[in-house]
Amino acid sequence: MYDVAIVGAGVIGASIFRELTKYNLKVVILEKEKDVAMGTTRANSAIIHAGYDPEQGTLMAKYNVWGSELFEGLCKELSVPYKRNGSLVIGFNDEEMITLRKMYENGLKNKVRGITLLNREEALRKEPNLSTAIKGALYAPTGAIVGPFEYTIALIENGVVNGGDVRTSARVMQITKQEDVFTLMLEDNSKLRCKYVVNAAGLYADQVHNMVCEESYKILPRRGQYYVMDKSQGEIVSHTIFQCPGKMGKGVLVTPTVHGNLLVGPNSEDLEDRVDVGVTHEGLNAIQKAAKRTTEHINYRESIRNFSGLRALSDRSDFIVEEASVKGFIDVAGMKSPGLSAAPAIALDVVAMLWQIGLTNSLNKTFKPEREQIRFMELSPKDKNELIRKDLRYGTVICRCEGITEGEIIDSIQNVVGATTVDGVKRRCRPGMGRCQGGFCGPRVQEILARELHLNLEDIVLDREGAYILTGKTK
């Protein structure tokens, strides 16, 4: 029997999972998809917000500021791309300048370090490509950018190395509780018993909650679409640039990514559907129009991909981090933005909450916080040579756009939470993330996956069960 079962392997579940492996506990994380980090954590703006935005006194404010302080250290420990590039919220008229001042004052109350209000000239000195129509900006030096799925995969890998279990293709269908034990029924009809359940099921958190508790909140999906621009556009701005927030959220941002691309988006659309991550002509046009207010310098012919993500809002205004009506069942739900930024702090509080309600606690003295990942292109020429001398596969470049070697792809497959899909390889070590979007390296990645996993080429899927790329031979 497990001490704790976590439902959902997004950034929230993964953060709690790794934190729990610091103790001598039997912990499992369950994910309905074929891989981890496949929900909202896969598709968002990837910003570690400074924390001036959420209203003082809310859980969002508390966890955002605290989480943002923890992020840098965690990314170093786990070898995850992170950059503290700072952020600017720009204002164009007197009304927006009042909004910026209010955000500044709210930021001071939230204890955000280093925020300042800049006049037009100061803002343009920091970002010369901004529209000259701006009147001023709120500057937050602690704002940062991260690789959200790389971070989540790293947390889970590290949790597994430290004794936790992960099960993918393990959708929780039913939960019952008898005496002090929960029984979770999975899609393959297997059963799993545990003393505590943490519900981190993102867009499905209300459904998982309702399996064993009385209904107490509803999840409301809100879609956001994006442009990913080629690296040729990656230096148009160096900070993350927001416009003043509106009723539907933080608005359209323009930001560099940790890998040197430029991200433009998201819009905001309330949907009924919890799976529709499509992009639309109208949505993308609206993003271009809004981003033009920030800067005229983006060349949209350099767009290499569009994608969208679904925010899991709830019918409550704040994050939901609480024990439900059923003892031992903890909801971590309604994780709209800044859920990614808040995740490390939420994990600490959820673990403390578990102690309070009876989980016993003894430190895992063998806990190893570090995780390493070889990124060939980031090595010095000397280290590259040494690596190739040890293993020739690091000398074969498979993805020409991003410079990813066969050795790195094999590492991603042979890892403790190894990739089994083309998308899984891409999210771990980036082949297919570049300008050609896998046009050249995609078939080579499929071949390597088939070879390493001893599967037929036709059995390799893009990301999910049934997402086949090849159907068979034509000749």
Ligand X SMILES: Cc1cc2nc3c(=O)[nH]c(=O)nc-3n(C[C@H](O)[C@H](O)[C@H](O)COP(=O)(O)OP(=O)(O)OC[C@H]3O[C@@H](n4cnc5c(N)ncnc54)[C@H](O)[C@@H]3O)c2cc1C
Give min distance, CB of 22 to ligand X, in A: 19
- List all residues 6 or more positions away from 428 whose beta carbon is below 8 Å from its beta carbon: 150, 153, 412, 415, 419
Closer residue to ligand X in complex, CB, 97/279: 279
Among 4, 5, 6, 9, binds ligand X (CB under 6 A): 9
Which region, judged by CB under 6 A, interacts with ligand X, from 36-44, 284-292, 360-368, 440-448?
Answer: 36-44
Q: Indicate whether 254 belongs to the interface with ligand X (CB under 6 A).
A: no
**With contacts defined by CB under 6 A, how many residues of the chain interact with ligand X?**
40
Which region, judged by CB under 6 A, interacts with ligand X, from 44-52, 112-120, 352-360, 376-384?
Answer: 44-52
CA atoms within 13 A on the CB side of 146: 33
Q: Which sign does the torsion angle of CA 157, 159, 164, 167 carry?
A: negative
CA atoms within 13 A on the CB side of 392: 0
Q: Indicate whether 41 belongs to the interface with ligand X (CB under 6 A).
A: yes
Q: Rounded CA gap, 414 and 182, in Å? A: 33
Closer residue to ligand X in complex, CB, 276/447: 276
Q: Rounded CA gap, 26 and 362, in Å? A: 12
Give residue number: closest CB to ligand X.
Answer: 339
| Cβ(308)–Cβ(278) below 8 Å | yes
| Cβ(254)–Cβ(349) below 8 Å | no
Q: Rounded CA gap, 432 and 401, in Å? A: 8
| Cβ(329)–Cβ(353) below 8 Å | no
What single-letter DSSP state applies at residue 397? E
Q: Indicate whether 283 belongs to the interface with ligand X (CB under 6 A).
A: no
Q: Indicate whether 446 belongs to the interface with ligand X (CB under 6 A).
A: no
Q: Indicate whether 427 belongs to the interface with ligand X (CB under 6 A).
A: no
Closer residue to ligand X in complex, CB, 266/283: 266
Catalytic-residue membership of 49: yes
Give the residue from 388, 282, 121 showing the smallest Cα distance to 267: 282
Give min distance, CB of 250 to ligand X, in A: 8
Angle between helices 59-78 and 339-356 (to 10 degrees): 100
Q: Phi and psi (nearest 5°) for 172?
A: -80, 125
Q: Indicate whether 269 belongs to the interface with ligand X (CB under 6 A).
A: no
Give min distance, CB of 372 to ligand X, in A: 24
Q: Indicate whether 279 belongs to the interface with ligand X (CB under 6 A).
A: no
Which region, judged by CB under 6 A, interacts with ligand X, from 88-96, 132-140, 197-205, 281-289?
Answer: 197-205
Closer residue to ligand X in complex, CB, 182/394: 182
Residues acting as catalytic residues: 49
Write out the residues near ligand X by the rule CB under 6 A.
7-13, 30-33, 38-41, 44-47, 49, 171-172, 200-204, 208, 224, 266, 309-311, 335-341
